[in-house]
Amino acid sequence: MQMRKLIKPLVFVLALLPFAVLVLRIIQNNLGPDPVQELSLETGEWTLRFLILALAMTPLRRITNQIEFTRHRRMIGLFALFYASTHLLVWLMFDLEFRWFAIAEEILERPYITVGFTAYLILLALGITSPKFMVRKLGKNWKRLHKLVYVAAILGVLHLLWILRLDIGPAVFYSSLVALLLGYRVWFRLRARRS
Amino acid sequence: MLIKKPSDINPSEITPESVYRNRRQFIEDSGKLLLGAAAASTLPSIANAQTGAGLMARAPASMRRSPPAAWWADKFANIKPAPDSAPFYTGESLTPYEDVVSYNNFYEFGMNKGDPSSNSGDYKADPWSVEISGEVAKPGVYNLEDILKPHDLEERIYRLRCVEAWSMVIPWVGFPLADLIKRFEPTSKAKYIEFETLVDPETMPGVRSRFAIVDWPYREGLRMDEAMNPLTLMAVGVYGDYLPPQNGAPLRLIVPWKYGFKSIKAIVKINFRETMPDTTWVDLQAQEYGFFANVNPAVHHPRWRQDTERRLPQTLFSRSRIATQPFNGYGEQVASMYEGMDLSRYY
C-alpha cells in the first residue's frame, strides 16, 4: 500500500524530467546555434510522446489487467497539455515574438500551424474538463468530449508530417504508434459488440 | 639576433574584433608614419610578415585541420585576403567557426544538423577526382590537384541563407567558378551546368538510411550566366582552413544569392548541357523548391515564411531575427540576370 502511494509522485517527477533538462540546457546556453528551433523540436516531440503515452494507458490496463495504468492517465494527459503549452509559448514568444497579426496570419494561412493549433485547443479543452467535478458535471458528454484526444493525436502527427523536409523517420514512428492505439480501440469495440 | 618562434595564438583571438577588422587601416597608417622615418623599401617586409596573417578570419588554432594531402598545404600557403568592400566582403559579424562546422544540412551523413559533423569520421576527401562531361571541348576525369593547379585561392565573406529561414556569415576560401569553366571550353550548346555529389554508402551513413527519400546522388544546377557570375565561387576552404567533410570537402559550390541547397557539396561530376537539369529538391517537391531558388522575401515557402531569417548563432535571449534581402543582398550583382522573369513563378 505504501509503495502504491509513491508511484504517483514518481510518475510526476519523471514526467517533469524532460522539462528540467531543457531548462538546464537553456541556463547552460547549450541548445546549439539555433536555440529556438531546438526548443520547438524538443517540446513538440515531448508533447507527442506524452499524448501517445496517455492513449496507451487504457490498452495497457486491459492487456495487463493492472488498474494502476489508468490511475495515471489523467496526469500523463495533463503533461501532454503542459508540453504542448511550452511548445506554443516558444513559438509565440521566441519565433513570432508576440507579433499578433503575424501570429493570426500564420494560424490561418499555414496548414501545419492550423492543424497544430487546433490540436492544442482540443488538449486545452480536455485539460480544463479533467478535474473530477467537471467529469461529474458533464456526465455522459464527458466521455464523448474526451474521445477528441484521438483527433488531437492525429492532428499532432499531421502537424509533424507537414513541417518535415526530408526526415520521415520520427513522423513514421509516431504515426504508426497512433494508428496502432487507435486500431486497438476499434478492434476492442468490435469484439465487445460481437460478444 | 633574436629569433622568435611565431606564436600559436591567432591574432584574432587576442585582439578586439573592432581593432582587428580595422587592422588594414592601422597598417596603412603606420606605413605612412614609417614612410617619414625609413626607406619605402622596408614596407613590403611588413606586409608579408606572416603567411595568412592578412586573412580576415582563421579557424581557431585548436581546431585547424591537417591537409587532406601534402599538396594542399602549398595551395593554402597563399590565400588572397578578402577585400574590404562588398560584394566579396561583408562587415556583418561572422558566424563562429564552431557553429559553421557543427550545424549543417548534408543529408548523406544524416538528417539532423549535428549528424554531418558527427557521422563523417570515415569520409575521405583524398584522393579526389572530378568528371567533366557534356558540351565541352575538354571532357575527362581530372585529379583535384590538376583541377586546382592554375587557380589562386582567395577569401570571400558571404552571407549564406538557408531555405529553412536561418542564415550565417561565412568566410570561404576558393576561386571563381567562371575561371574553372573557361578551362574546359564549353561549346555554344552549353546553356546549363549540372553538379553531382559523391555517393559512398561506406562512409556516408545517410545514404544507407531507409528513411531517406532522396534519389541519390544529390544533384544541383545553374544556368550558364549564373555559373559565370563573378560571385559564384568554387570553395575548397573555410576560415582559412581546409573544408571539413560536413561543409562539403574537398570541393563545393557557393552561390550566395540563392538558398543554401543550391550550393552543392563534395562535387564529383560537372556536366555541361543544353537543357535545364533535374535537381534533387525540384524532384522531391516541385511546388516548394524551384530550379532558380533565388533568395526572395516576397515568395514564401508554401509551409513557412521567407521574409525574415534567424541569423546564427543565437542565444535564447539575444535573438537576431533580421529581414531577408532580395537575392540575399546581392541584387546589384545578379538581379539583371532575371530581368523580365516572373520570380514568383520561377522561384
Both B96 and B30 in one domain: the answer is: no
Q: Which of B272, B84, B252, B262 is nearest to B173 (CA)?
A: B252
Residue B320: its chain A contacts at CB < 8 A? none
> Could you tell me which residues come within 8 angstroms of residue B115 by beta carbon, excluding any fewer than 6 positions away?
B106, B109, B205, B206
Predicted pLDDT at B27: 52
Residue B95: its chain A contacts at CB < 8 A? 33
Looking at this protein, which amino acid is placed at residue B292? F
Q: Which of B157, B173, B161, B163 is nearest to B312 (CA)?
A: B161
Residue from the list A32, A162, A165 with its beta carbon closest to the beta carbon of B103: A32
Both B189 and B313 in one domain: the answer is: yes
User: Which CATH number characterizes residue B105's domain?
Assistant: 3.90.420.10
CB contact under 8 A, A36 and B212: no
ipTM of the complex: 0.85
Last residue of a domain, one of B16, B33, B50: B50
Q: Does B112 touch chain A (CB under 8 A)?
A: yes
- Strands annotated E in B92-246: 129-134, 140-143, 153-161, 166-176, 192-197, 219-223, 233-238, 241-242
CB contact under 8 A, A172 and B99: no
- Quick one: pLDDT band at residue A1, thresholds 50, 70, 90? low
Both B21 and B89 in one domain: the answer is: no
Q: Does B330 touch chain A (CB under 8 A)?
A: no
Tell me if B186 is assigned to some domain. Answer: yes
Residue from the list A32, A34, A162 with its beta carbon closest to the beta carbon of B303: A162
> How far A177 CA lies from chain B's nearest CA (Å)?
17
Both B195 and B79 in one domain: the answer is: yes
CA gap B333, B324 in Å, rounded: 17
C-alpha cell belonging to residue B149: 593547379
> How far B211 CA lies from chain A's nearest CA (Å)?
6
Residue B243's Cα: distance from chain center in Å? 9
Predicted pLDDT at B34: 46
Query: What is the domain count for chain B?
Result: 2
CA gap B324, A127 in Å, rounded: 40
Domain boundaries, chain A: 2-194
Give residue A65's region: left, alpha or beta (phi > 0; psi -120 to 50).
left
Residue A90: its chain B contacts at CB < 8 A? none
Both B27 and B117 in one domain: the answer is: no
The pTM for the full model equals: 0.85
CB contact under 8 A, B213 and A112: no
The position carrying cell 504515426 is A175
Predicted pLDDT at B15: 52
Given a contact cutoff of 8 angstroms between Cβ atoms, the answer to whether B82 and B91 are in contact is no
The predicted model gives A126-152 an average pLDDT of: 95
Predicted pLDDT at B211: 76
Tell me if B248 is assigned to some domain. Answer: yes
Predicted pLDDT at B287: 92
Q: Which structural domain, as residue segments, surrounds residue B33?
A: 1-50
CB contact under 8 A, B284 and A166: yes
Predicted pLDDT at B319: 82
Both B285 and B196 in one domain: the answer is: yes
Residue A169: its chain B contacts at CB < 8 A? 111, 209, 211
The predicted model gives A181-192 an average pLDDT of: 92
> Is the CA virtual torsion B321, B322, B323, B328 positive or negative?
negative
CA gap B329, B307 in Å, rounded: 13
Q: Does B287 touch chain A (CB under 8 A)?
A: no
Residue from the list A34, A39, A172 with its beta carbon closest to the beta carbon of B211: A172
Q: Does B187 touch chain A (CB under 8 A)?
A: no
> How far A111 CA lies from chain B's nearest CA (Å)?
7
Chains A, B: CB contacts within 8 A come to 61
**In chain B, which residue's Cα lies nearest the Cα of A102?**
B305
The position carrying cell 557534356 is B134
Both B45 and B65 in one domain: the answer is: no
Predicted pLDDT at B21: 53
Q: Report helix, strand or coil for B220.
A: strand
Q: Does B32 touch chain A (CB under 8 A)?
A: no
C-alpha cell belonging to residue A97: 515574438
Predicted pLDDT at B46: 40
Residue A112: its chain B contacts at CB < 8 A? 303
Residue from the list A32, A34, A110 with its beta carbon closest to the beta carbon of B304: A110
Cis previous bond, B6, omega within 30: no
CA gap A20, B98 in Å, rounded: 26
Q: Does B131 touch chain A (CB under 8 A)?
A: no
Question: Which of A22, A24, A25, A34 best tests the B interface by mutation, with the highest count of B CBs <10 A?
Answer: A34
Predicted pLDDT at B23: 52
Predicted pLDDT at B48: 38
Averaged over successive runs of 10 residues, the pLDDT of chain B (347 residues) comes to: 53 51 52 45 40 83 95 95 95 97 96 95 97 98 97 98 97 98 98 98 92 90 98 98 98 98 98 98 94 96 90 88 96 97 92
Tell me if B136 is assigned to some domain. Answer: yes
C-alpha cell belonging to residue B93: 559579424
Tell me if B343 is assigned to some domain. Answer: no
